[in-house]
A and B are shown apart, each in its own frame.
Chain A
Amino acid sequence: MKVLSQTKRYGLAAVSCGLALALAWWFDAPAFCFFLAVMVTSLYGGQGAGLFAVALSSLAFDYFFLPPRFRFGLDATSFVRFAPFLVANLVIVGVIEVKRRAEEARRRIAEQVENAFVEIKGSEDRLRLIINTMPTLAWSSNPDGASSFINQRWLDYTGMPPEEALGWGWKVVIHPDDLAPTMEYWQAVLAGNEDSELEARMRRFDGIYRWFLYRVSALRDESGRIIQWYGTCIDIEDRKQAAESLSQREGELSMIIETMPGLVWCAAANGELTYVNRRILEYIGTHDKALAQAGWLNFLHPDDVQPTVHAWTHAVETGEPHEIQYRLRSFDGTYRWFHVLGQSAQDAEGHRTRWYGLLIDIDDRKNMEEALRNTQARLSRAAQTATVGELAASIAHEINQPLAAVVANGHACLRWLAAQPPNLAKAQEAAERIVRDGKDAGEVIQRIRALFKRTSVVKTALDVNEVIREVLRLIRSEAVRKGVAVETNLELDLPSVAGDRVQLQQLLFNLVVNGIEAMDGVADRPKRLIICSKQQAGEGVLVEVRDRGPGLAEPDKVFDAFFTTKESGLGMGLAICRSIVEAHHGRLWAAPADGTGAAICFTLPDHASTAL
């Protein structure tokens, strides 16, 4: 319905009234002509124009058709005709206005509906666009499972036209091997198990199958009834392949670890053993569960358990690499030595995640070392015995001296007692001297026995000066015999060192004898042997044995085994000295003495530092 401007509407009223007047002129029923004009005006010009047309019609009807004709004014009869005319006109306008308004309202609603429809159409297109272009295969199904919608991606992937795919047509692109599981899955979903997933292969347009992950969810109405199923298929082929190659690599790695001829283990960050490879199980002759039940410590040599637990606990606490040697019991009950290495793995944040470790069989090497050590010890003993043998005379002197005194005192004692009158005071003095010198002789014998004694190394806190004095007591006579003046310059209040008394005695014994012998050929100057001890910053205690002999032509070689400048002798003395010093974590070196002669020096770490 057209909407006319104000002027046009009123113009319309005037024109229709004019036309009605003209028609009325010719027809017998002028009132109807006017009714028509009012009706048309009201219809097309609205209420205002209608009322205007009513006024014009009323005026024209009164003027032209009611007596008195051609005059405005009404008599009684004409009023009877005029009044119904006016009322009828007003009714027409009113009715038409009501109708028009209703029409107007309906039109507006229709317009709104139209707009809404357009809008909905647009958004549906967008949604369709999204569904069709999103990089996922998507579909929906009716509550019975038959496919009701399949997106473009799906169609593009499979190359199927939608009409074939809808309903149950999609089944043909599922890999034959996966069809049964797929249908089972779908049945399970329909039965209410919506949360499950399915992996199945789906044929591409070119005939190649790729793996997809199926997921489904249901749309329900307010009463919980399923209206529609919505689902996606996600291409997981690449992921699947990566996972497969990973698992293959894992399998290979695991195979390598299982079969390689090495003993490999793995533990959790807290130190709990989580894995040992087959070689370990074969070696200890058990299986995983038995090992887990018994605990790996049960397969260690009892003596090694304590240090191993200590070291492992330390490694697990600090994350420092684990390294220890222990004996592991084999399936036949024998123990072999293993060198154990462990390394922690860390994640990106630096947290320890696991421990990886190796067991290296070092039993043969260890046995060889042991044999070597025994040989060395025997050699050392032999050389030591030889040295002591060379000094037998000197040692005999040390024993005979107090013995001579004891014997003489004994005789004297008897004589003082036998005298008339007996001289008891003198006899007692003599007897006391017997006791004293007898003790002396005993001590000498103890010292000599210590020199020969084969004992394991026992480190205790020792006063180096005390050891020096002990050795000098044994050698004094030899020095006197050789005309060597032994001087000492010992620093008081030396820190004690951690050492084996017998070994340190042997060390000093060797060095002093060596120094004395080095001066055998000296005739043009006094033979002097000077022993100094002092505290050395950072190195514990320094001892220097300095002689006035010919000096050392090859200071670097003197500590080699079998190197000797003497005509008699094995050349083992200084080599043994070196091994003793090294066993005490010290240093031994030869320094040309100032002027003539040579000096052999060694350091021993102090007891406090080695105890740490």
Chain B
Amino acid sequence: MTSETPMVFLVDDDPRVREALCSLLSSVGFRVSAFGSAAEFLEFEKPDAPSCLILDLQLPDVNGLELQRELAGGEAPPIVFITGHGDIPSSVRAMKAGAVEFLAKPFGEEELLQAIHAALALDKTAREHRSELAELRKSHSLLTPREREVLPFVVAGFANKETAAELGTSEITIGVHRGQIMRKMGARSLAELVRMADKLGIAPAIRPA
């Protein structure tokens, strides 16, 4: 399932709300999948498309905040919380945990659509970010173990000679590794490589005191 049509997931235990939001969102042109509980949502196989999750704070099985916590760190879509009675502590916790919006029922169309658009935009960025990172990881995986050892020195701005001294090899060998790294990673400049390393979470080597 690969389609760029944005996908909206809806989890609310009240069928009336589910029906109404499904109708509204489909009229706007979203694809909507609605679930009555967190478990149903978790079981569902999500398509690879920009998406967001409209999540009711009160759910019969797992409550909304718990589901948010469970999803955090994964590739879960951004969350727009909706609630029948928003209390301040819950909304603070939700927002801190990265929710896009916290809407109190009943909410207007504009608020909801704005939140959904924001969430989708967020998801789009996240998705792009994720795919870029995936590319980098793929490139990184092509490096030989020795080249991976060399990379931190390169991005830390060590001269080949200094790196060779640190790793106990020749300057020429380091030069070859460096060239290979630049090629395999697809970096056109050192600056680009530095950004890539940063994205991959590779810390630059530390110059000895």
A residues whose Cβ falls under 8 Å from a Cβ of B: 393-394, 396-398, 400-409, 411-412, 415-416, 419, 423, 426, 429-430, 433, 436-437, 440, 477, 480-481, 483
Contacts and interface: CB of A to CB of B under 8 A. Distances in A.
Nearest to B87: A393
A400 B84 contact: yes
A401 B27 contact: no
A405 B27 contact: no
Given A397-B58, A397-B85, A477-B58, A404 B27 contact: no
Given A415-B28, A477-B58, A404 B105 contact: yes
Given A406-B106, A415-B27, A423-B27, 13 more contacts: A394-B85, A398-B84, A401-B16, A404-B17, A404-B82, A405-B17, A405-B19, A406-B20, A408-B17, A408-B106, A409-B24, A436-B16, A481-B58
B135 to A, nearest CB: 39
A557 to B, nearest CB: 34
Contacts of A480: 13, 58-60
Contact of B16 (A397, A437, A481): A437
Given A393-B87, A409-B23, A477-B58, A401 B28 contact: no
B34 to A, nearest CB: 12
A429 B108 CA distance: 19
A432 to B, nearest CB: 10
Kindly name the residue among B14, B84, B104 whose own CB sees the greatest number of chain A CB atoms within 10 A. Answer: B84
Given A397-B84, A405-B17, A412 B23 contact: yes
Contacts of B108: 407, 411
Contact of B24 (A402, A415, A436): A415
21 contacts: A393-B87, A397-B58, A400-B105, A401-B105, A402-B16, A403-B106, A405-B14, A406-B20, A407-B109, A408-B17, A411-B24, A411-B108, A411-B109, A415-B24, A415-B27, A429-B23, A437-B16, A437-B20, A440-B16, A480-B58, A480-B60
Contacts of B82: 404
Contacts of B28: 415
A405 B82 CA distance: 12
B104 A400 contact: yes
Given A401-B17, A480-B58, A407 B107 contact: yes
Contacts of A436: 16
Contact of A409 (B14, B20, B59, B105): B20
B16 A405 contact: yes
A404 B109 contact: no
A409 B105 CA distance: 13
Contacts of B13: 480
Interface in B74-121: 82-85, 87, 104-109, 112
B19 A433 contact: yes
Contacts of A437: 16, 20
B141 interface: no
A404 B107 contact: yes
Nearest to B25: A412
Contacts of B164: none
